Amino acid sequence: MKLQSALKQYFGYDAFRPGQEEIIRNIMDGKDVVAILPTGMGKSLCYQLPGYLFEKPVLIVSPLLSLMQDQVDQLKQMGEKRVVALNSFLTVDQKRYALHFLDEYRFIFASPEMLLQPQVKARVQEMELSLIVADEAHCISQWGFDFRPDYLRIGEILSETNRPPILALSATATDTVLEDIQSYLKMKSPFHYVHAVNRENIHLVKKLFSEREEKIEWIIEHVKNTAGPGIIYTQSRSKAEAISLQLLQQNISAAAYHAGKEAQDRQFIQQQFLAGHLEWIVATNAFGMGVHKENVRQVIHETMPATLSNYMQEIGRAGRDGKKAVAFLLYCEGDEQFAKFIASEDLPKNIHVDRFTEVIATGEQPQSLLANGEMSEVVFRVLSYWLARESAEEVKSRMMNLQIKKYEEVQLVLKLIKHSDCMRKQVVQYFGQQLTKQQEYCCSNCGIEISELVEERDISKTMIKMTNWQHRLKKILLINS
């Protein structure tokens, strides 16, 4: 079957988006592929269409449970029944059933942690797969902005399987991250598709403040007078809750979204935002992956992100419909210190390395360090991986180099804020690309009129949304009381 006909038959689309056809043709030819496609450019179709054309199952390794569930739900809504997610949400009986019938599924989603469990690993290795997909593949790289140590071990499984083609997918990746992806996945002369990182319809605006309180005041006033939908990114859960409360007090339908909320509450908020009942989400970076809302008009960074990759990933939630959208980056002197703290928060310190090796030397179980609260789960996982492969001194050196690199990344974001060079040019060059033309509406440094980019808020429409949202919220509170 021709790819064009298959696209129409299985998805109802008349044409591929840029890059999709090239990527799929190389997969169908049995080649490994690294595909860097911006948020909203249809990465999932690059493995879904081959899944319908191949007779054997496709394994998708996904780092986030929420992202995995979202992708499973989307496939089921399309009428696909042969899809399963292997994750911690499964009961013992559900997991046993899924593993027994695993080769009957067309799409198998699994977290890296689940894939490494002996029972699951053995079952996967005895299967014939048509394709293995590493979704959000930047998580494989220690230099990536969302490093997951368990993801590094996917290569161990791949080397032992009846190896099918591998597809590595990400929205953003620097050359260093691309090298890591290719190396850790043991890819064989992969075909590379790297889409232009520039999103012409997203206009970049920076705003500088002398006091942090002024940023919040500006956000409230701005949101009160301009049209959403929009996402406000902040670095802490408490600040997300505080800002969303202030917006609600101004009769703006808003909700906080972060990892501290129950999974069902996060899912409900996400659904309400997608349905248009919520104007604004105030979120930590827990929000975003797998969220497909076409008409987000504004993204506001209340505090500076720790990397330019983070920044591009998050502003990429805006303007997926191709219409004008604006990304606001707010800054107050000293914000970079908090960004450095966030960037290195989950990096093991020397004291963690010493304590970990001390516990192992005494014959204790390292898990006791988690139970005692001596280190976070992320620190524990990073040390578990590296101390099994390197000496304590080598790990300390590695972590020091990584911290230096992360601080350098923060400085690049600070340069974006403080320098007078075109913001778009700075971001594009960070990813090793060049701008092909000068845009009419570009960024703060090139001159931009915000009033021409954002619409005024229609109070009559938003009041109806507010009433709907409040009604649903009251129902939840009654159910949970």
Per-residue pLDDT of 422-449, as tens digits, reads 999 999 999 989 998 888 789 999 988 7
Q: Are the CB atoms for 177 and 36 separated by under 8 Å?
A: no
- Cα 379 from Cα 353, distance rounded (Å): 9
Given this model, what pLDDT does residue 215 score?
Answer: 96
- Cα 476 from Cα 481, distance rounded (Å): 8
Phi, psi of 142 (to 5 degrees): -65, -20
Strands 166-170 and 33-36, how do they pair? parallel
Q: Look up tokens 């043991």; give the residue.
A: 186
Q: Specify the pTM.
A: 0.84
Residues in the chain, total: 481
Per-residue pLDDT of 328-355, as tens digits, reads 999 999 999 999 998 888 889 999 999 9
434-462 CB burial, b ≥16 within 10 A, e <16: ebeeeeebbbbbbebeeeebbeebeeeeb
Give the Cβ contact number of residue 333 at 10 Å. 11
Which CATH class, in words, describes the domain spanning 3-194? alpha beta
Give the Cβ contact number of residue 347 at 10 Å. 17
Q: How far is CA 162 from CA 55, 84, 293, 461, in A?
A: 15, 21, 38, 56
- Cα 129 from Cα 148, distance rounded (Å): 24
Given this model, what pLDDT does residue 234 score?
Answer: 93
Given this model, what pLDDT does residue 477 score?
Answer: 45
User: CB within 8 A of 213, min separation 6: which ones?
Assistant: none
- Cα 133 from Cα 27, distance rounded (Å): 11
In CATH terms, the fold of domain 202-338+412-480 is Rossmann fold (3.40.50)
- Cα 291 from Cα 328, distance rounded (Å): 20
Given this model, what pLDDT does residue 204 score?
Answer: 96
- CATH 3.40.50.300 maps onto the chain at 3-194, 202-338+412-480
Phi, psi of 326 (to 5 degrees): -130, 135
Given this model, what pLDDT does residue 480 score?
Answer: 47
Q: 184: closest CA among 159, 164, 165?
A: 159
Given this model, what pLDDT does residue 481 score?
Answer: 42
User: CB within 8 A of 160, min separation 6: which ones?
Assistant: 125
Q: Which residues of the chain have pLDDT under 50?
A: 145, 464, 477-481
Tokens of 370: 């988690």
Strands 298-301 and 202-209, how do they pair? unpaired
Q: Long-range pairs for 284-288 at CB < 8 Å and ≥24 separation?
A: 284/233, 284/234, 284/235, 284/236, 284/237, 284/240, 284/257, 284/258, 284/259, 285/233, 285/310, 285/314, 286/66, 286/257, 286/258, 286/259, 287/231, 287/257, 287/258, 288/231, 288/313, 288/314, 288/317
- Cα 142 from Cα 212, distance rounded (Å): 32
| Termini Cα distance of the chain | 55
